[in-house]
Amino acid sequence: MAVYTAVSAEALGDFLRGFDHGELVSLKGIAEGVENSNYLVDTTTGRFILTLYEKRVSADDLPFFMSVLDHLASDGNPVPRALPDRTGTLIHELCGRPACLIEFLSGVSVSHPTAAQARAAGAAMGAMHESLAGVALERPNTLGPEGWQALLARCGHDLDAIEPGLFARVTQAADDVVAGWPHDLPRAVIHADLFPDNVLMLGDRVSGLIDFYFACTDIRAYDLAIMHTAWAFDARGEAYDAAVGTALIAGYADRHRLSDAERAALPILAQGACLRFLATRAWDWLNTPADALVTRKDPLAYWRRFEAYRQGLFA
């Protein structure tokens, strides 16, 4: 469960008095997620999400995320906007953390996507990239190749406590991926974390794209590669579902051009994505206090995916 900061009904009641969204009726911590504290808030006028930003989200980056969301929502993408208070302020402080009140979107995230759902989700990413083409917003990817190499180095030999020999294997893997990393592909604002749990669906239709807090400027096809690693495997990273993987890419290509060079780069981009998620999961695995109300995610599930891509999954 991800609730790092407890918010009392009194504190939230006071907070809501600054908005035109009614009075507090109920407040529930949301179990899903690992990064931020999220609450489901019902008021006398509707339902909202309250997010308190923790851990990896810097308050300085929030204006960038809010601008991306605002642009995407204005262009018809199903993303939640942050709601302004009566003074027009979007980003607040609550219980000592940066906080936003956010539009609630209906839908559920699927644990085992079907090919039809993957196709729709791929198309939603394609539409998002279409909207973001040429948008002059910039945020460097702090979890790009240099970022994950640095994080793996900080984990150091503690990685061997996760699996003996892991440190040496991932260090070599990271060197290999960095050596083959493409530098001439189109770059744009990307989501960078569009896992199934960040896509809300009603049946086979996408009703929401959420959790833009890793959004950044990077290789556009890297976003699709990240999505492929997250959607097309079982949770342990053991079984690859080719129908889901193929549908995802086909759905994307229906809505946004995927050049031959981008397609050819997907294997190396996917390997990089695996190391990026292995790195953050391993760091959290080694550094999450035992009493934290959060379910840690398995780093090795990303090492298994890495091996699958390295052995030519796309070939």
Ligand X SMILES: Nc1ncnc2c1ncn2[C@@H]1O[C@H](COP(=O)(O)OP(=O)(O)OP(=O)(O)O)[C@@H](O)[C@H]1O
* Part in contact with ligand X (CB under 6 A); list of ranges 30-38, 81-89, 113-121, 238-246: 30-38
Nearer to ligand X, 80 or 113 (CB): 80
Q: Which residue is nearest to ligand X (CB)?
A: 33
User: Quick one: how many helices (H) and strands (E) in the chain?
Assistant: 10, 9
Query: How far is 146 from 152, CA to CA, in rounded Å?
Result: 10
* Closest distance to ligand HSE from the beta carbon of 230 (Å): 7
Nearer to ligand HSE, 64 or 285 (CB): 285
Binding to ligand HSE (CB under 6 A) within 152-211 occurs at 193, 195
| Site size for ligand X (CB under 6 A) | 21
Nearer to ligand HSE, 43 or 198 (CB): 198
Distance, in Å, from the CA atom of 297 to the CA atom of 3, rounded to the nearest integer, reads: 16
Kindly state whether residue 5 participates in binding ligand X, applying the rule CB under 6 A: no
Tell whether residue 80 is a contact of ligand X (CB under 6 A): yes
Residue 229 makes contact with ligand HSE by CB under 6 A: no
Cα(134)–Cα(189) distance, integer angstroms:
9
Q: How far is the CB of 214 from ligand X (least distance, A)?
A: 7
147 contact partners, CB below 8 Å, separation of at least 6:
141, 276, 279
Where does residue 156 fall: left (phi above 0), alpha (psi -120 to 50 degrees), or beta otherwise? left
Comparison of 24 and 232: residue with beta carbon closer to ligand HSE:
232
Residue 198: CB minimum distance to ligand HSE, A: 7
Place of tokens 């890297």: 222
8 Å CB contact between 11 and 29 = no
Residue in 222, 277, 306, 309 binding ligand HSE, rule: CB under 6 A? 277
- Contact pattern from residue 84 through residue 103 relative to ligand X, giving x for each residue in contact according to CB under 6 A and a dash for the rest: ------------------xx
Q: Does 211 bind ligand X (CB under 6 A)?
A: yes
| 30 makes contact with ligand X (CB under 6 A) | yes
CB of 79 to ligand X, least distance (A): 8
State the pairing for strand pair 24-29/187-190. unpaired
| Strand 199-202 to 24-29 pairing | unpaired
Question: Which strand (E) or helix (H) includes residue 296?
Answer: none
34 belongs to the binding site for ligand HSE (CB under 6 A):
yes
The number of CA neighbours under 13 Å toward the Cβ of 145 is: 19
Query: Toward ligand HSE, which CB reaches closer, 16 or 270?
Result: 270
Of the ranges 6-14, 183-191, 242-250, 273-281, which one interacts with ligand HSE (CB under 6 A)? 273-281
Alpha-helix runs per DSSP H in the chain: 9-16, 62-74, 115-132, 145-155, 159-162, 166-180, 220-231, 242-255, 260-287, 300-310
